[in-house]
Amino acid sequence: MSNKEKFFPERYSANRYYAKKMLSAFKGADFDPDFSKRIGDESDIDVLREFIRKPVHEWHEGSFLPDEILDERDDILHRMQKYQYELPVNPTADEYKKWSGLQKIQMQSQEWKEWSNWLTKAEEMIVVHRKLEQEVIVARDYIRFSQCGRNIFEITPFLLRLLEKTDVGDIRFRDFKLPYKTIYFHFGTLEALEYPVEYYEQKFDAYVAEPFNFETIEDEDEYYQKKKFLLDGAFISMTSENCIDIQLCFKDTNDSFTKNVNVVNDHRFPTFDFTLSFGKRNKDESHTEYDEETTFNESTVIFCDYWDEKAELGEIGYGKLSRLTNEPEKCFKSEWKEYVLMDKALKLIVNCICYLSANELDIEVFATNEQANEILEELYKASKTQIRNKLEKKLSKFSYSKVHLVGHKLKAYFDRKESDNEVEPHWRRGHWRKQPFGENLSETKLIWIKPTIVRKDKGEPKKGHVYNL
């Protein structure tokens, strides 16, 4: 499998003809919430929205229509003014007859036909555009990712297994110390984290709802099994509002991503985005309170379904969301699947962020472009400034992402570890310890107390989920 197929950022840029132009145009863009709230000025996210929509003829309700469409509307309405006659409050028979006659003439006129066609065209634009709002958010995160040096952190299967058995409930936003403001985590395809396609079929239109004969319920089950979208990564952006913007990226394992597909009809990149805010929901649910001591268990999840044109921004305390994953009877079925997905993804992502905040040793770096990778290896070995400058100049000519392979030494570490306890083999859960350091012990750093297999010499634990990758 090539890097363009393996990593979502590479797949995205290879399948979006405007990606290179977009990166150039938005080199200095800032999508931080504080920056985007400027009064009296168009925010960068609005400019990006216009950029994404401009070459596309489909538009969305609630956003402005392109100038040429508005000009066409104004021209038709101007020419229809000759048929307008405003009835007085108490019209006479002659006045009503004049108004009625003009209405009949208008409805048989060329202008009326043009107006009817314009309304149909505008309505069609509104219906199909919803895909583009999701595209704007994906583009935003790809720009952020590129601005921060295009760093992919590939989490090894064994590390994923350990992090699943590590608790993160008392972690605070200020405990995180990421090397870059925006990164991309690559997990591989996780069977345990699946996009619930059956509740979003309308989103994928012809891509998912391909011709299929549902003669039996078995056929339908087979169809949905065939069309699985499995999580294989996530864009992560730390914002100034004590928030983490998260964009979950899924992969259809049956797709090779070789086709050129128009953005409006391209549903090969299903994503699910939400924000984890380290603000605590007030008990009356009327507002969010911010405190440096707010923990992950006390945080708030903010989300919006862009596919629902009537949807509004929603918020739910993470503690409540996590609790509802065990109470499906209290949720709509589709809503419950969303909560399960967010809960599992959040625990995994927060653990990954903690690992990067605490551990910088167990990492190997390579480039997604083979030629760039060769130069990168030379650069790491070079010690002279003159040679390094030449290599960096050569490297700047290539388009590539840096892949940080994380946790590749852990398996060997655990294979060496043994226990003398006379008990059945089982996992002891890990956790993150906040270790004080610095002057007057005023700062803290994360120390990973790793999960461990007790009595490994007696075999593998009988219980405990393992990610299938």
Burial class of residue 304 (count of CB atoms within 10 Å of its CB; 0-12, 13-18, 19+): middle
Mapped onto helix, strand or coil, the DSSP state of residue 231 is strand
pLDDT tens-place string over residues 398-451: 889 999 999 887 777 666 654 444 545 667 788 898 887 777 666 788 888 888
pLDDT tens-place string over residues 277-322: 997 766 565 566 777 888 999 999 998 877 766 667 788 999 999 9
Instruction: Please give the C-alpha separations between residue 71 and each of 23, 67, 79, 258, 391, in angstroms, as whole numbers.
Output: 31, 6, 12, 39, 53
pTM comes to 0.76
Confidence of residue 52 (pLDDT cuts 50, 70, 90): confident
Contact status, residue 270 vs residue 248, Cβ threshold 8 Å: no
Higher pLDDT, 212 or 13: 13
Mean pLDDT over all residues of the chain? Answer: 80
Distance CA 186, CA 145 (A): 13
Confidence of residue 270 (pLDDT cuts 50, 70, 90): confident
Distance CA 450, CA 176 (A): 18
Higher pLDDT, 126 or 23: 23
Is the pLDDT at 355 greater than 50? The verdict is: yes
The values of phi and psi at residue 291, to 5°, are -150, 135
Is the pLDDT at 147 greater than 90? The verdict is: yes
Alpha-carbon torsion, ordered 397, 398, 404, 405, to 10 deg? -140
User: Strand order in 443-449's β-sheet?
Assistant: 166-167, 430-437, 443-449
